[in-house]
Structures are given as C-alpha cells and as structure tokens.
C-alpha cells in the first residue's frame, strides 16, 4: 500500500471515531431529554389531579356554605318569631292580676307553644376533607368541656 492510501485510511478512521463519539454524546443527551419529558408529563398529570381535587373541595365548601346560610336564615326567622311571642308574653305578664285571672288557660297555652317552638337541632353535614381539620386524633377531652362540642 502506498503512503497516501495509508494516510487517507487513518484520516477516515479518525473521522469515523469522531462521528461515533459525537453520536454517543447525542444519544445520551436525547435520552436525558426524553426522561425529563416523561417526568414533566407526570408532573402535569399530578397537577391536573390536584386541580380536580381542589375543584371538588371548592364545590363541597360552596355546598356547605349554602347549607349553613339556609340553616342560619331558618334559625333567624325562628328567633324573630320567638322574640315576638316573648314580647307578647312579657306584655301579657305586665297586665294587672285581675286581667290575667280571667284568661289563665290562654297564657298557659301561649307558654306551651313558646316552649314547643324551639328549633330542632339538625345534624350538620360536612365534607370528608373537614374530618382532619375538625376531629383531632388526640386531646378529644378538650372538646367535651365546650358546650355543644363533639364527643
């Protein structure tokens, strides 16, 4: 073989090795890019799941707020009605004794209606999310000391 052919073969083999090294580096970078793309896709899926849970939580909160507003308005109406009855009872009790003796059955009936008209306690519905917030696993005895606290 001639010297020119040998130099050309060495030059071509050097170029082939350089192309092989660049291809190997490119393959590593593409693999890293694919892995980061997969992790980004998982992060987007997790974010989508979290957003769906947040939307459900907001819907539960909105429903609980509407229910509380309705219950509160019912209790306010009941309180107003009881206030009117109480005012009637107070004004009736301030009348002279001779007038009250004439109608004792009516006064007893009004007082019985007043006692029966107290609103019934309705159970409060909650979202499952509230369980962690409002029912601590420890120190439940503290809630018993509070009037109306859960047991």
Structure confidence by residue, pLDDT tens digits, 79-98: 999 999 999 988 888 765 54
Count of residues in the chain: 151
Does the pLDDT at position 17 exceed 50? yes
Q: Are 70 and 125 in contact (CB under 8 A)?
A: no
Average pLDDT for 124-142? 53
Residue 63 lies in a domain: yes
Residue 8 lies in a domain: yes
Residue 134 lies in a domain: no
Q: Say how many domains are in the chain.
A: 1
Three-state SS for 62? Answer: helix
Phi, psi at 107, each rounded to 5°: -65, -45
Residue 7 lies in a domain: yes
Confidence at residue 151, expressed as pLDDT on a 0 to 100 scale:
46
Residue 130 lies in a domain: no
Residue 42 lies in a domain: yes
The pTM of the full predicted model, rounded to 2 decimals, is 0.40
Residue 16 lies in a domain: yes
The pLDDT tens digits of the residues spanning 18-44 come to 999 999 999 999 999 999 999 999 999
Choice among 10-14, 52-56, 132-136 with the minimum mean pLDDT: 132-136
Residue 70 lies in a domain: yes
Structural domain of residue 21, as residue ranges? 3-115
């Amino acid at each position: 073989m001639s010297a020119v052919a040998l130099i050309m073969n060495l030059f071509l083999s050097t170029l082939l090795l350089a192309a092989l090294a660049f291809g190997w580096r490119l393959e590593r970078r593409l693999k890293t890019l694919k892995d980061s793309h997969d992790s980004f896709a998982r992060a987007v899926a997790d974010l989508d799941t979290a957003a769906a849970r947040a939307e459900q939580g907001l819907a539960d909160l909105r429903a609980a707020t509407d229910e509380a507003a309705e219950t509160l308005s019912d209790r306010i109406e009941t309180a107003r009605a009881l206030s009117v009855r109480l005012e009637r009872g107070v004004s009736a009790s301030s009348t002279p004794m001779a007038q009250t003796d004439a109608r004792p059955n009516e006064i007893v009936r009004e007082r019985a209606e007043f006692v029966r008209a107290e609103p019934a306690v309705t159970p409060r519905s909650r979202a499952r999310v509230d369980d962690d917030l409002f029912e601590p696993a420890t120190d439940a005895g503290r809630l018993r000391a509070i009037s109306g606290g859960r047991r």
